[in-house]
Structure 1
Amino acid sequence: MRLAARQLSPVARWCLVVLAVTVCYFATGQIGIQWALVREQISPLWPAAGVALAAPMLLGPRFWPGIFLGALLTNIAIGPSLATVSMLSAGNVIGPMLAYAVMRRLGFRNQFDRLPDAVLLVTIGAIGGTAVSAGLGTGVLVLDGALGAGDFWPTALVWWTGDAIGVLTVAPLLLLTPRFRLPTRVSPARWAEAIALAIAGTGAALLASTAPAKLFVVFPVLVWAALRFRQAGALLCSLCVCTLTIFAAVRGHGPYGSYELVPRMLHVQGFDVTVGMTALVLSTIVLQRDRATAEITEAWLQITEMVDMIAPRQSLRSAMTQRKDD
């Protein structure tokens, strides 16, 4: 398989990667459409936004046509017109590409193992870049007449919420895929803890979505996931919590049932951003602590080896000096 891939021309490889990005965006876009609140295409959870940001991070910015084609295929069936859909798709490219450029300029690394990387992903990727896409897309719909001018802010808010949560929950997991390795020699106790964490995370997310509000119950589970399963565990828990929270908000269940659309989205956005930031920041801090501990251990081993090498020579020198004195 690798040999065949190497034999492809650069243009053929570029086309295959663009096709793969298109398929990924379209597939995750179809998931987001299932929760659409405005015009059957603007959803409070848009996982495709995470794909759109992670694609240039992992593959490079030259594969941006995959994002555009994926957005075009996602929206073309629900309109309103080909020209409008093309401009919407362009907005879906401009936001993540702008966020990518700014994050790279500020030193973001794909290893995603430093606290500044987590902060940049939240502030620039999940909040800044998605605001650009939401503002451009909603403005295009208003100019086309598909939305009234009075619907601009509610629609833009739902759009921004969906893209931001999609980036917070999906993009970090995609950035971790190059480091993913199948676990080997995992003890039964470790498997039992992972299963218990999955059950506790799902249960806490369901409990948080019931009335009266019990949103705080998810945070001990996030702490558990970050301390014991690092970024992968914390991010998967965050994805579960955000998904179930948005499902409850869309259906008007639990603590969200008494709110209108805009306050409801603000409530969900605030909670899910807090959950995502907690998972990202805490798991990254734990990863930094592990790396610092490993570096200290490695330095201690090197010092010990040097002492072991120096000690015999020093003893021999002391013995020779003592003979001369005698």
Structure 2
Amino acid sequence: MILLFIQHTMVHKVLINLFIALCYFLAAQLGFFLAFLNTQVSPIWPPEGVGFAAIALLGPKAIPGVVLGAFVANLVNNPNIPTASLIALGNTGSTLINLWILKKLTGALDPLSSMKSLLVFLFFGTLPGASFSAFVGVGSLMIFGFVPGEAFWNVFFTWLAGEMQGFIIVAPFLLSILNKDNYKVFSIGKTIEFFLSILIISQVAWYVFSVSDPLMFIPIPFMVFLAVRYRNIGTVLGGFIFSTIAVYHAIHGVGPFAEVTNRIKSLNNTLIFLDIYLFSKITMSYCLVVLLNERDEKNNSLISSQIDNNLELEKKVKERTKIIEDQNQEFQYQIKMARSIQTYLLPDAIPEINDFKIGYQYFPMMDVGGDFLDIQYFKENGILNLFICDVSGHGVAAAFVATMMKMGLSSWYDFPTDVVKASNMIHQTVAKKVDRHFITATFSSIDLKSKVIRFAVAGHMPLLIVHKDGSRTEINPTGTVIFPYFPPNCELGVYNIQQGDQIVLYTDGITEARNSKEEFFEIDRLTKAIHKYRNLEPSNACQQIVDDVIEYSGGELLVQDDLTILLVRA
């Protein structure tokens, strides 16, 4: 399994890097298409933006894809392995240098995330890496004879400008279009409007840069429109389109920059002027959109502050409500813990005994309840002790008292057959601590050999025996509820269990459950239900009976008391 996981992870990484390499290669073909001095020197080098965006988004795991793409792209264009290798290392190194500087100085990797990030990116996060790449690239071309020594600086500065334009134009373009948050401002209608605007602006740019008239400043208001109307997406896409069209016409000797070439007789200097023009225009657009975004953030913050000031009272109410909600959440957590503890105190395993089957079901009206039961099997003595109780009230207080009963039962289990003594012990150890609560309980002990049950009822429901034929016997020896003022004075009850008898201990939540007509469930329905489910396992029968009571009450939310039943079948 671990090997398969590793293989899957490695395949995933390989595919990602192959995709990055492919994108880098395609972007390089666009760059080579725009090259003019040397087949490997372009006024805009788009792959640098691809590498920057890939490593910014995916981290170091994208580096192999960038290296591979740069190597293959340069090798295909100029089949010389040493120069292709050196240029690939220079391209990758420039990206890493610029990313490191941007991250170190701003803590961000998106140049358009803030004005600080933009300024650092433009003036410190492009030049060092671009210089490194230009020096390595042009140097390798010169060493291997592809660039003459006297042309080194001309090619170097053009390479440098192209690298910087690749970072400045392409990197923000990719980071913006890959950020889904930038599309939140686009509705369907605005999306259609956006594509129509791009189409019109592309036509305008094509005309401006294809004629010799000095119209290169016409795109500026269009760039402002894109930034104001469509923010990041409009800015980066507009800049990419304008730049590509401008460079395309310039290298083909068409448009206003071709006139500059004819005047100064230097295509290299012309392309540097073009890069300066593009840099100023793109920088203006980026600054505008970042300022607009920051203005919106500040406006939203100001509006929020004003609303808070105007609705200070509401804020205080919300704060108090939050405090109450937090307290309630903590209380619910405590209730959950209390229920876990109470559930833990219930019998976790039902003993398996020959000739007897045992089952129970407990359903608290609230998260915790005041009912409790216990089952203790003394195998060496052949004694089975059964206990059930009902604490007055509901909820946490009743649940805590019921939990105290569990601790008080330990003294009874030292004398498991003396049920009357057990009721007195509980009164001595627990009753004086229950304050205003009182407890009803039944203590019973079955001699499994003689099949005789001895029991004491302290103000609780009578012991119910449902016979094999469906008839019932109720035994209710005298005994008062357990509370602080005097002992329960329970009378001992004895019954000889017959084959097919079902011994039932239950709380009043079962028989006193009411339907929508205020009719009680009563002992008759309980007796019939016990007989009806006699062929089910006792636990399943108890569950079915509780479900019947809940349904009779109209659902769990309408149950008015805890429901507890303990069944022993002979």
* TM-score (ref. length: structure 2): 0.50
Q: 3-state SS of the aligned residue for 1:76?
A: helix
Against the structure 1 CA distance between its residues 116 and 204, is the aligned structure 2 distance closer, same or farther, given a 3 Å change threshold? farther
Across the two proteins, how many residue pairs are aligned to each other?
A: 306
1:37-92 per-residue CA deviation (whole Å, 9 max, x = no partner) reads 13323222221110111222111134212111001110112335212211111111
The corresponding residue for 2:219 is 218
**Pair 88,185 (structure 1): closer, same or farther in 2 beyond 3 Å:** closer
Aligned 8 A contact 2:56 2:109 in 1: yes
Please, which runs of 5 or more residues in structure 1 have no aligned partner? 1-5, 312-326
Matched, 1:58 2:57: yes
1:10-44 alpha-carbon deviations (Å, 9 max, x no partner):
43443233222212111211222222213323222
Whole-Å Cα distance in 1 between the matches of residues 94 and 27 of structure 2?
A: 17
Aligned twin of 1:292 = 298
SS in 1 for 2:233: helix
In structure 2, do the counterparts of structure 1 residues 78 and 199 end up closer, same or farther at CA, with 3 Å as the change threshold? Answer: closer
Gaps of 5+ in 2: 318-570
How many angstroms does 1:244 deviate by? Answer: 0.8
- CA distance in structure 2 between the aligned counterparts of 1:43 and 1:14, rounded to whole angstroms: 31
Query: Higher strand share goes to which structure?
Result: 2
Q: Provide the C-alpha distance between the structure 2 equivalents of 1:194 and 1:168, rounded to a whole number of angstroms.
A: 23
Report the CA distance between 1:169 and its aligned residue.
1.7
What pairs up with 1:201-216 in 2 under 5 angstroms?
Answer: 201-209=201-209, 210-216=211-217
The CA distance in 2 between the partners of 1:135 and 1:265, in whole Å, is: 19
User: Counterparts of 1:65-214 in structure 2 under 5 Å?
Assistant: 65-111=64-110, 112-176=112-176, 177-180=178-181, 186=187, 188=189, 190-191=190-191, 193-209=193-209, 210-214=211-215
Contact kept? 2:28, 2:46, Cα under 8 Å: yes
Amino acid at match of 2:217: F
Larger Rg, first or second structure (1 or 2): 2
**Which residue of the partner structure matches residue 324 of structure 1?**
none
Separation (CA, whole Å) in 1 of partners of 2:87 and 2:186: 48
Could you tell me how far 1:181 is from its partner in structure 2? 6.2
Residues 31 and 46 of structure 2 are in contact (CA less than 8 Å); yes or no, is this contact kept in structure 1?
Answer: yes
Aligned-partner SS, 1:41: coil
Larger displacement relative to structure 2 (124-133 or 178-187): 178-187
Check 1:122–1:204 CA distance in 2 against 1; reply closer, same or farther (3 A cut).
Answer: farther
Distance 1:192 1:25, change over 3 A: closer
Distance in 2 of aligned mates of 1:7 and 1:290: 46
RMSD: 2.5
Counterpart for residue 257 of structure 1: 258
Structure 1 partner of 2:332: none
SS state at 2:301 partner: helix
Q: Quick one: distance in 2 between partners of 1:98 and 1:164?
A: 13
Residue-by-residue CA offset, 1:164-206 (whole Å, 9 max, x unaligned): 2222221112222133565688264x35642453244224423
Deviations 1:124-155 (A, max 9, x none): 34333222211210011111112110121222
Specify the alignment match of 2:392 in structure 1. Answer: none
Aligned residue for 2:523? none
Matched residue type, 2:290: T
Query: Is 1:273 the counterpart of 2:279 in the alignment?
Result: yes
Higher deviation after alignment, 77-86 or 10-19:
10-19
The aligned counterpart of 1:35 is 34
Structure with higher RCO (Cα < 8 A, 6+ apart):
1
Query: Taking every aligned residue pair, what percent have the same amino acid on both sides?
Result: 23
Q: TM-score, normalised by structure 1?
A: 0.85
In structure 2, what is the Cα distance between the partners aligned to 1:39 and 1:169?
22
Structure with the largest fraction of helix: 1
The amino acid that maps onto 2:128 is G
For residues 186 and 66 of structure 2, the distance between their equivalents in structure 1, rounded to whole angstroms, comes to 39
CA deviation after TM superposition for structure 1 residue 157, in Å: 2.5
Aligned AA for 1:228? Answer: R
Q: Equivalents in 2 of 1:283, 1:36: separation in Å? A: 30
Q: Secondary structure at the match of 1:214?
A: coil
**2:37 match: secondary structure:** coil
- 1:235 corresponds to which residue? 236
Q: Which moved more, 1:77-86 or 1:194-203?
A: 194-203
- The 3 A distance-change label for structure 1 pair 170 and 310 is closer
